[in-house]
Amino acid sequence: MITIKTDDELEQMKIPGAIVGKALREIEQYVKPGVSTLELNSIIEEIIVSEGAKPSFKNYNGFPAAACISIDDVVVHGIPSLTVLKEGEIVSIDVGAYKDGFHGDAARTFAVGEISPAKRKLIEVTQQSFFEGLKFVKIGGKLGDVSHAIQTYVEKYGYGVVREMVGHGIGRKLHEDPNIPNYGTAGIGFTLKKGFALAIEPMITLGDYRIKIDRDGWTCRTRDGSPAAHYENTVIITDKGVEILTL
């Protein structure tokens, strides 16, 4: 069941949303060759805690860290470790924060030093696909229009759209209804209403869209080993339109 937030609740959601946005802005300066994903995770956790919030992901269904940090062919849910970043890689960082009863959730993909033009384009298209989908987030719109816009934009470039991993509603729980695929048919699905809070998150691959999960039960990789990018924001629908809480 989709929970409709009141105006007051939407206002409260801006607080964890802003914390997530701050964490992602500040972590970018630390993304460089030689830095371990565990170090990045520690910095993110410090930022979240310093704002009086808690990392949404830590211990969520057993996830062991404050952030999901995913290198190159890892699509999502990479577990921070002693693995160090290398020149030319791309790294997706997904962050959640919980404060005063509500969650915020967002992700970005960063370049590690100098990266190939192909990887740079993948990051740019993935980010822009979010905004293509966002054009259809409005009162009375259909969720399928959002999904369809993301898919059609991405596939123009020959990229793959991951099927198994999707966006989601968000609020008092990190994951709420509805699921938000990054592919689909226009004109179908839930009718969007004032009070919806959504985490829209294109997960796009440079090659085939199919994935596999590592033995750890978390790490999600492209099956063909191609790089993947991830871009996510928490958005709310109000009388005035759609508002992004995590930029």
Question: pLDDT tens digit string along 112-163?
Answer: 999 999 999 999 999 999 999 999 999 999 999 999 999 999 999 999 999 9
pLDDT at res. 33: 98
pTM, full prediction? 0.97
**pLDDT-derived band at 10, boundaries 50, 70, 90:** very high
Under DSSP, is residue 134 helix (H, G, I), strand (E, B) or coil? helix
**pLDDT-derived band at 197, boundaries 50, 70, 90:** very high
Quick check: 19 and 66 in contact, CB under 8 A? no
Quick check: 75 and 205 in contact, CB under 8 A? yes
Quick check: 34 and 85 in contact, CB under 8 A? yes
Under DSSP, is residue 147 helix (H, G, I), strand (E, B) or coil? helix
The DSSP secondary structure of 39-57, one letter per residue, reads: HHHHHHHHHHHHTT-EESS
**pLDDT-derived band at 191, boundaries 50, 70, 90:** very high
**pLDDT-derived band at 26, boundaries 50, 70, 90:** very high
pLDDT at res. 182: 98
What is the rounded distance in angstroms from the CA atom of residue 27 to the CA atom of residue 64?
Answer: 19
Quick check: 189 and 144 in contact, CB under 8 A? yes
In order of start, what are the domains of the chain with their CATH numbers? 7-244 (3.90.230.10)
pLDDT at res. 2: 94
pLDDT at res. 19: 98
Question: pLDDT tens digit string along 38-68?
Answer: 999 999 999 999 999 999 999 999 999 999 9
pLDDT at res. 37: 98
pLDDT at res. 230: 98
pLDDT at res. 129: 98
pLDDT at res. 24: 98
From residue 122, alpha-carbon distances to 89, 90, 128, 223, 230 in Å are 12, 10, 10, 17, 10
pLDDT at res. 160: 98
pLDDT at res. 236: 98
Question: pLDDT tens digit string along 223-233?
Answer: 999 999 999 99
Task: Choose among 227, 232, 231, 218: nearest CA to 71.
Answer: 227
